[in-house]
Structure 1
Amino acid sequence: MKIIIVTQACEYSIDVALQESILEIKQKIQHFSSVPVASQILSVSGWELVDGLDLEDYPIVTEGTKVDLTVKCMMRPSFEHHSKIQIVVKFSARKHNIEVDRTDTVRSLKEKIYIIDGTPIKRMTLYFSGIEMEEEYRNLSEYGICEFSEIIVFLKTMSRLVAEPPSKRLSVVVQTSSSLLNAASIPLEMRDSNTVNELRQLMLSRKILPMDDYIFIHKQRIMRDNCSLRWHGVENGDFLYVFKGTVSRGGF
């Protein structure tokens, strides 16, 4: 079928198949318009299309659907004023807005967090989009961090009681796609220490979902099975979206 790619300058159509992944579609766009895959953000009605999913996971995309293409801006030279950005640093029970430079290293970010929060640098492990920022002398820009990016801080265990606050109950809503249960909204009570896999097993055991493989998404990010809801930054009242399918390692 054909979909219409909409940019600020023009519109054009490309042929796609429902079984194609979003990444494969981005590769077609790169071949057609020379926009690098890494610079592309595809969305429909404000909903970002995630690389790890196939087109058929998005029932809203049909013949003639207009797909918005946003091109990520290239990083400005470090001497420009606009190299300064605001990011959000989130702990399990608090968060801070911090101004950084795109050329700051992971180490210098930890130092700023220490100054603001008082958390010892040696206890910090930083994650962005589910990936550990383990190379301390890489620039933030090399990890793809931009304005309003969220950095998750985990504390290395010295005393588990100090490193991890007690688990708490969460009320979340699991939203299924239109191909599952007619796009049902399902309220659930979980603990923030529960993993995504435990959430999946709960829904399967209650026969809320039929037996199959599923992907869970929170704030347009694919969730990891063995990580807790707290790890993903899920908060009370948040929506989690579920689609049929699996994600390979390349999807993270």
Structure 2
Amino acid sequence: MKIHILTRAYVLTIEVAMQETILEIKRKVENCLGIPISSQTLSVCDWELLDGLDLDDYPIVTEGTKIDLTINHIPSLEYRTQIQITVKFSSRKHNIEVDKTETVGSLKEKIHIIDGTPIKQMRLFFSGVEMDEDFRNLSDYGVSDFSEIVVFLRSMSRSVAEPPSRKLGFVVQTSSALLDSTCFPLEMKDSSTVQELRESLLSRKLLPMDDYILIHKQRIMRENCSLRWHGVENGDYLYIFKGTVSRG
């Protein structure tokens, strides 16, 4: 059956079984939203759902039940992978949330989506040093929470071509709620979008025609963004859970 997990920012819809424990549901929430199990309190009508019990123990929980998720405390900096940075142009700036493992190329794609600036025109600088290797992580250049990255623009006549697409080999792992839990290797171009990945899985009959969520490094993947944008590298795992996510 489907239940809805409510937070301030999201409504997470997931498929569960009545025999699942509350702890197993919290683990699904952690995998989908990145919120540690220890920080979660799940409740229905102010009635807290306890880790050691099954959904069967709560008759109040049925198909379509809305379960409130309270985050008890902010995850430690050691656990947290998301950081806030400022991207500054000569006449404007944007505050962007990125992952510590984000690559320079992935950041350029985000800037392009937000600002519309062509990727091949961007030169990124942090602390006076040009971030000129698209495959390197932001952390390799010392970027951390609240860092400011300056964008200079190349003239179109001197623009350097965007890095060519490359093939990625990665593994897709399905959850037991979607299918029999299994994993299988795939190979796609890093410029392929998540939507193209989804279509490939469906056309090859590796997945049924259901609603499901793709997760990479505890982040929900966006349909219109590329694998490169998500920072997917060779050998990475992508996880699939049955359900949907919408903005709350």
> Normalization by structure 1: what TM-score?
0.47
> Normalization by structure 2: what TM-score?
0.48
